[in-house]
Amino acid sequence: MKPTVAFFANQFADLHGHGLARYARELRDALAAQGDVDVRPASAWSSLPPDRLAALRSDTGLTLLKSGRRGTSYGWTFAGLPRIEWMMDGPVDVTHSVCMGYPIATAKPLVVTVHDIGPLTHPEYFSHNRPWLMKRALDQAVHRADALVCISQATAEEVMSLYPGQTWDRLHVVASGVSDRFFAEPDDAALDGIPLPPDDVPFILTAGKISPRKNVQGVIAALRIAMQDIPHHLVVTGGSGWDMEQIKAILDDPVLSKRLHVAGYVSDAALHTLYRRAAIYVHPSLYEGFGLTVLEAMASGTPVVTSNLSSLPEVAGDAALLVDPMNPDEIAEAIVKVGSDATLAADLRARGLARAREFPWSATAARMSEIYRAVTQ
């Protein structure tokens, strides 16, 4: 008999659907496609409009917890109640905290996925976070969970470094996946209304929330250097973060502003098309738990330049140029190399496509199914 999983992710019904929301939805879909477990998604809130929420609930069986976002976080953190299995539609065998944000109340076997612990290890890169809450959730994961899943070896090593002397037989490294749609042809119509350079001008793409951790300013500093040698423009996508005021100031630069296009938040369809159209994808992030956009760009056939820090070398393998993200000259040198050497660009495209194919969601789902079954035996 296949186990039934309470699949809790507050991001599951997020409007924008990037990052953790994409992870939760893609994993749920892959698990459902394999059919080895009965996945029942749950969230304490939704930012979707009513029609889209109704469709998501119909398609996935999503349960919106009656305690709501604040009631759930406070109740679970301070009282350990109400248990999630009490609020689900029907019995469950396993509880999975898919995007660990705060402790979860359950008496069922518990699986917790840790994506990163940046607010604890690199608080300078995060704003408006509550590190004490993450620490309580991580304490629960380490001491109480029947299985602790990290999405990269880099994240696993960070977790282990905070708990010396702990045994780690319950820790598993299960990489994220990359969606098949990024290998397919994109929809050019998805770019309608997005500020882009003229069609005959090649561009560099960087994607992610505009915050210090994503190091958009480092890409812009590199562009200032590289623009002397290549004609490329820079397209920046991602929601506004606490670096946005500095970016706006750069837009006043009469030279840089002609080469810089800030698109803001874009849909998944638009991001896919931007990956495919870009001459180079640059991701010099200072810290990542995984770095999914690197694989998405590779799957789209785009040469990648990325950071040599945290999980990014692990994810990129030998299919990208790795740079010191704190050194704009080094980033610029890599950009110029790829932008001016067609042979190198073609080699990176081929390596990237092969690398991205090593991360199918089906493999992630198969490993998670094994873990669900193991904790119920």
Summarize the confidence of residues 12-33 as an average pLDDT. 92
Band of pLDDT at residue 241, cut at 50, 70 and 90: low
pLDDT tens, position by position, 336-371: 999 999 999 999 999 999 999 999 999 999 999 999
Phi then psi for residue 208, to 5 deg, are 140, 155
Say if residue 145 is in the same domain as residue 61.
Answer: yes
Q: Other CB atoms closer than 10 Å to residue 130's CB: what's the count?
A: 14
Band of pLDDT at residue 251, cut at 50, 70 and 90: low
Band of pLDDT at residue 156, cut at 50, 70 and 90: very high
The whole-angstrom separation of Cα 57 and Cα 73 is 22
H or E stretch at 173: strand 171-173
In percent, the amount of the chain with pLDDT more than 90 equals 84
The number of distinct structural domains making up the chain is 2
Say if residue 192 is in the same domain as residue 265.
Answer: yes
Tell me the Cα Rg of the chain. 21
Band of pLDDT at residue 111, cut at 50, 70 and 90: very high
Say if residue 95 is in the same domain as residue 237.
Answer: no
pLDDT at 209: 81
The whole-angstrom separation of Cα 252 and Cα 362 is 46
Q: What is the mean pLDDT of the chain?
A: 94
Q: Which residues contact 342 (CB under 8 A, 6 or more apart)?
A: none
Say if residue 186 is in the same domain as residue 310.
Answer: yes
Say if residue 347 is in the same domain as residue 198.
Answer: yes
Q: Is the pLDDT of residue 291 over 90?
A: yes
What CATH number does the domain containing 101 carry? 3.40.50.2000
Nearest C-alpha neighbor of 148 from the set 116, 117, 112, 99: 112
Q: Is 364 exposed, middle or buried (0-12, 13-18, 19+ CB in 10 A)?
A: buried
Two tokens, residue 239: 């929601």
- For residues 249 and 60, the model is more confident at 60
What DSSP letter does each residue of 72-99 carry, written as one string? HHHIIIII--S-HHHHSSS--SEEEETT
pLDDT at 242: 59
Say if residue 165 is in the same domain as residue 191.
Answer: no
Query: Residues for the chain: how many in total?
Result: 377
Q: Is the pLDDT of residue 27 over 90?
A: yes
Band of pLDDT at residue 243, cut at 50, 70 and 90: low
The whole-angstrom separation of Cα 338 and Cα 348 is 9
First to last CA, the chain: 12
The whole-angstrom separation of Cα 297 and Cα 233 is 17
Least confident of 29-33, 71-75, 135-139, 292-296: 71-75
Band of pLDDT at residue 240, cut at 50, 70 and 90: confident
Say if residue 205 is in the same domain as residue 347.
Answer: yes
Say if residue 157 is in the same domain as residue 301.
Answer: no
Say if residue 200 is in the same domain as residue 79.
Answer: no
pLDDT at 127: 67
Say if residue 306 is in the same domain as residue 351.
Answer: yes
Decide if 356 contacts 180 (C-beta within 8 A). Answer: no
Pairing of strands 63-64, 321-323: unpaired
Say if residue 340 is in the same domain as residue 367.
Answer: no
Summarize the confidence of residues 246-273 as an average pLDDT. 84
pLDDT at 282: 98
Containing structural domain, residue 50: 4-177+360-376
Band of pLDDT at residue 184, cut at 50, 70 and 90: very high
Q: Is the pLDDT of residue 129 over 70?
A: no
Say if residue 131 is in the same domain as residue 203.
Answer: no
Q: Is the pLDDT of residue 252 over 80?
A: no
Decide if 9 contacts 24 (C-beta within 8 A). Answer: yes
pLDDT at 247: 67
